[in-house]
Chain A
Amino acid sequence: MNPEYTMATHIGIRTDIPTPERSPETAPYWDGAARGELWLRRCGGCGRPHHYPRSICPFCFAPEPAWERASGRGVVYSYSVAGRTDAPYVIAYVTLAEGPTMMTNLVDCDPAALAIGQPVVLAAPPAEGGPPIPMFRPEVLR
């Protein structure tokens, strides 16, 4: 492991992550997240993927967009270092390689080294019994 990586401030592993509410409409998303994966829905009518997943396409209203596994790659669209200064976390929007931009947290990062446009990849699901929600970490650790 890159020594700079282990020395970086490990932020964003919050202990207070609430468990998102599941529904039949969104169960495949959370099942995938539990495996460390990110899933999107892509419309069979207009061909566009969207996030968060819906059972009707928000672009053309065609029913039942198909589920597909996302690459887990993206770039930082925007971010903010928030929370108490002694326990900061990074909230962000990441634009996925597939197109949609989603809210997330950036983890395993040095908040001072973050930048808009920076490539990020899906991080391992948070350990220690936290709910598996898709988070991202820098692709290249600097």
Chain B
Amino acid sequence: MYIVGAYEHPTRKADDKSVAQLHAESAAGALADAGLSKDDVDGYFCAGDAPGLGPLSLADYMGLRLRHLDSTETGGSSYLIHVSHAVQAIAAGKCSVALITLAGRPRAEGLATGTAPRVYDAAAPDVPFEFPYAPTTANLYAMCAMRHMHRYGTTSEQLAWIKVAASHHAQWNEHAMLRKVVTVEDVLASPRVASPLHRLDCCVISDGGGALVVTRPEIARALKRARVRVRGSGEAAKHAMGGDIDLTYSGAAVSGPIAFAEAGVKPSDIKYASIYDSFTITVLMQLEDLGFCEKGQGGRFVADGNLISGVGRLPFNTDGGGLCNNHPANRGGMTKVIEAVRQLRGEAHPRVQVPNCDLALAQGTGGQLGSRHGSATLILERE
């Protein structure tokens, strides 16, 4: 199956738009990119950012006529899982043209996204035993970083290199929120958010959205766009295991090997990687867990510009990623797939385009790395 449409909404602050409107504008963008129309869509996928009854409310708003719906919710990784589920649904004959959308406006709503404790659902069984201690997105990821440093000797300087690499890419993206190239020293000098993480270890807070269109080979071949084949996919859930907690690895340790096995490739074959970057530590742990380096060696791997396109061995997040470009709805999985599609089509910014990029990986996590999260890995190839 093929990704034939991809669209990143250009807004980063949507004071005057509704969430449903952002979903629909993103959908229209992806369908136009594919050369398809709304009436071609017969499968629809969305996650917890969708208002109301998710796919029902948005199918109503957009006037979709569907025979397949999927509202799998694993936070920011949902959209990579949706791609995988769309491939399966199309293979099973349940739909032919699958639309996946994401949108949100946390910035316009003034949400203290990373640093305020938020009850995501009062009925969740974990909430009474965690929420009173004021867990936040930032401090949960910070505890992963603290443990990783303790176990493997990872340093704040090494983590900072991840932001530095993202900023080198973001300077070429006219839509990126943070386009200034930063240094390791800049990251370390930024205020402490939750030790050991600094402000510049964190992603941006942005409004926006994105959408993807997945379809079967017969339709994909009739379209004008370069075809991006979904060659492998994997998903996983990692949680607190009744108290048997290990914060040094992510669900990518499970979803990654599944995707690589299905694709029949290995990490060294990957020319470009989109790695979910809610925080610098998120990138480092996923790179290790996906096998781009030995477990525990992520700090050395990311240092000295190794993630910068044209400089290092593994160009990552060439749009600037969540760390510098865009993190719509506090969910970074969608933009990870979109930039991987750009790279495979040869449509990334010329200054960051990876030469002959025929095999790419997109990796997402969603929820909290420090408590419970979903993980999804996609391996995509240009045909």
Q: Is there a chain A Cβ closer than 8 Å to B142's Cβ?
A: yes
Partner of A101, one of B134, B135, B140, B244: B244
Query: Which chain B residues lie closer than 8 Å to A81 at the CB level?
Result: 192, 194-195
Query: Which chain A residues lie closer than 8 Å to B125 at the CB level?
Result: 52, 54
Q: Is the CB of A103 within 8 A of B242?
A: no
User: Closest CB of chain B to A123's CB: distance in Å?
Assistant: 13
Q: Is the CB of B129 within 8 A of A100?
A: no
Q: Is the CB of A51 within 8 A of B129?
A: yes
Q: Is the CB of B134 within 8 A of A131?
A: no
Interface residues of A in 10-38 (CB under 8 A from B): 14, 16-22, 26
Q: Is the CB of A91 within 8 A of B134?
A: yes
Q: Is the CB of A104 within 8 A of B242?
A: no
Partner of B242, one of A58, A80, A135: A58
Q: Is the CB of B127 within 8 A of A21?
A: yes
Q: Knowing A81-B194, A91-B139, A116-B147 touch, does A51 contact B242 (C-beta < 8 A)? A: yes
Q: Is there a chain B Cβ closer than 8 Å to A92's Cβ?
A: yes
Query: Which chain B residues lie closer than 8 Å to A26 at the CB level?
Result: 128
Q: Is the CB of A102 within 8 A of B143?
A: no
Q: Is there a chain B Cβ closer than 8 Å to A59's Cβ?
A: yes
**Would you give the 0/1 interface string for A62-103, flagging 1 where the beta carbon is closer than 8 Å to chain B?**
000000000000000111111101000101110110011111
User: Closest CB of chain A to B373's CB: distance in Å?
Assistant: 15
Q: Is the CB of A102 within 8 A of B139?
A: no
User: Closest CB of chain B to A121's CB: distance in Å?
Assistant: 17
Q: Is there a chain B Cβ closer than 8 Å to A109's Cβ?
A: no
Q: Is there a chain B Cβ closer than 8 Å to A137's Cβ?
A: no
Interface core residue of B127, B128, B130, B136 (most chain A CB under 10 Å): B128
Query: Which chain B residues lie closer than 8 Å to A99 at the CB level?
Result: 243-244
Q: Is there a chain A Cβ closer than 8 Å to B150's Cβ?
A: yes
Partner of A17, one of B130, B132, B135, B243: B132
**What CA separation (Å) do A14 and B132 show in the bound complex?**
10
Q: Is the CB of B143 within 8 A of A18?
A: no
**What CA separation (Å) do A95 and B147 show in the bound complex?**
13
Q: Is there a chain B Cβ closer than 8 Å to A133's Cβ?
A: yes
Query: Which chain A residues lie closer than 8 Å to B126 at the CB level?
Result: 52
**What CA separation (Å) do A117 and B130 show in the bound complex?**
21
Q: Is the CB of A131 within 8 A of B133?
A: no
**Would you give the 0/1 interface string for A117-133, flagging 1 where the beta carbon is closer than 8 Å to chain B?**
10000000000000101
User: Closest CB of chain A to B132's CB: distance in Å?
Assistant: 5
User: Closest CB of chain B to A120's CB: distance in Å?
Assistant: 14
Query: Which chain B residues lie closer than 8 Å to A77 at the CB level?
Result: 147, 245, 247
Query: Which chain A residues lie closer than 8 Å to B244 at the CB level?
Result: 99-101
Q: Is there a chain A Cβ closer than 8 Å to B92's Cβ?
A: no
Q: Is the CB of B133 within 8 A of A80?
A: no
Partner of A102, one of B129, B192, B193, B196: B129
**What CA separation (Å) do A83 and B114 show in the bound complex?**
11
**Residue of chain B at shortest CB distance from A80:** B142
List residues of chain A with CB under 8 Å of any chain B CB.
14, 16-22, 26, 48-52, 54, 57-59, 77-83, 85, 89, 91-93, 95-96, 99-105, 111, 116-117, 131, 133, 135
13 cross-chain CB contacts under 8 A:
A21-B122, A50-B243, A80-B143, A81-B194, A82-B138, A85-B191, A91-B135, A91-B140, A91-B143, A95-B245, A103-B129, A104-B133, A131-B132
Besides A83-B134, A91-B134, A93-B143, 17 other A-B contacts (C-beta < 8 A): A14-B134, A20-B127, A20-B129, A26-B128, A52-B125, A78-B143, A78-B147, A81-B195, A82-B134, A82-B138, A82-B193, A91-B135, A102-B129, A102-B243, A103-B371, A104-B133, A105-B133
